[in-house]
Amino acid sequence: QVQLVESGGGLVQPGGSLKLSCAASGSIFRINIMGWYRQAPGKERELVARITSGGTTTYTDSVRGRFTISRDNARNTVSLQMNSLKPEDTAVYYCNFGGYFGGYWGQGTQVTVSP
């Protein structure tokens, strides 16, 4: 059984940085798309960033230039470096392997940006 475990969330002041990491346990092979989603209270889950096995990245407009997604294919890990954080970045962040539909999801990690 595949499990994704996130780490690195927490409380940070506006303008600060956090790095989220996600590691997979269990048998998992050839995951093309790895990504990070987030869900704020009262809002739908949205894509933050995703990366293909070849390294092609996609970012939602609100985080482009501030967040960087990376992955280690050999270790089946994906990370999200978040800089210049804003209060509107506050949400539960979820890592995803394999796409929104039918993929694997982590349990979520809370990121709170507040003075």
- Cα separation, 71 vs 69, in Å, equals 7
Closest CA to 94 of 84, 85, 102, 104: 104
- Provide mean pLDDT across the span 31-53: 96
- Cα separation, 32 vs 20, in Å, equals 20
Q: Is 9 helix (H, G, I), strand (E, B) or coil?
A: coil
Dihedrals φ, ψ of 88, to 5°? -70, -5
pLDDT band at 105; cut points 50, 70, 90 = very high
Asked whether residue 31 carries a pLDDT value surpassing 90, the answer given is no
Asked whether residue 25 carries a pLDDT value surpassing 90, the answer given is no
pLDDT band at 30; cut points 50, 70, 90 = confident
Q: Are strands 109-113 and 91-97 parallel, antiparallel or unpaired?
A: antiparallel
